[in-house]
Amino acid sequence: MSFDCFIGIDYSGAETPTSRLKGLQVFAALPDGSRVEAWTSPTRSNNGQRVNWTRREIAEHLLQEVNKGTRFLAGIDHGFSMPVSYFARYGLESWSDFLADFVHHWPTHNDHVYVDFVRDGNLYRTGDAPPPGTRMGNSDEFRLTERWTSSAKSVFLFDVQGSVAKSTHAGIPWLQWLREQAGGRLHIWPFDGWAIPSDKPVLVEVYPSIFRNRYEREGRTPDQQDAYAAARWMREMDARGALEGYFAPPLSLAERAVADLEGWIFGVR
Give the tens place of pLDDT for each residue, 84-120.
999 999 999 999 999 999 999 999 999 999 999 999 9
Name which of 26-30, 46-50, 206-210 the model is least confident about.
46-50
Q: Residue 162 has what pLDDT?
A: 81
Rounded distance, CA 183 to CA 170, Å?
22
Query: Residue 48's pLDDT band (boundaries 50, 70, 90)?
Result: confident
pLDDT above 90: residue 36: yes
CB-based contact 143:262 (threshold 8 Å): yes
Q: Residue 26 has what pLDDT?
A: 98
Closest Cα to residue 208, out of 31, 8, 6? 8
Rounded distance, CA 13 to CA 171, Å?
7
Closest Cα to residue 39, out of 23, 56, 55, 58? 58
Average pLDDT of the chain?
96
Q: Which phi-psi region, left, alpha or beta, contains residue 263 (left: φ > 0; alpha: ψ -120 to 50)?
A: left
Query: Residue 34's pLDDT band (boundaries 50, 70, 90)?
Result: confident
pLDDT above 90: residue 64: yes
Q: Which phi-psi region, left, alpha or beta, contains residue 91 (left: φ > 0; alpha: ψ -120 to 50)?
A: left
pLDDT in tens, 222-243: 999 999 999 999 999 999 999 9
pTM, 2 dp: 0.96
pLDDT in tens, 185-199: 999 999 999 999 999
Closest Cα to residue 26, out of 46, 47, 6? 6
Query: Residue 174's pLDDT band (boundaries 50, 70, 90)?
Result: very high
Closest Cα to residue 164, out of 180, 182, 145? 145
Rounded distance, CA 92 to CA 220, Å?
41
Query: Residue 7's pLDDT band (boundaries 50, 70, 90)?
Result: very high
Q: Residues of the chain with pLDDT > 90: what percent?
A: 92
Rounded distance, CA 188 to CA 165, Å?
20
Q: Which runs of E-coded beta strand occur in the chain?
A: 5-10, 25-29, 37-39, 72-76, 187-188, 202-205
Rounded distance, CA 124 to CA 119, Å?
10
Closest Cα to residue 166, out of 151, 177, 155? 155
pLDDT above 90: residue 1: no
**Sheet of strand 202-205, all strands in order from the earlier edge strand to the far edge:** 37-39, 25-29, 5-10, 72-76, 202-205, 187-188
Name which of 29-33, 83-87, 187-191, 253-257 the model is least confident about.
29-33
pLDDT above 90: residue 33: no
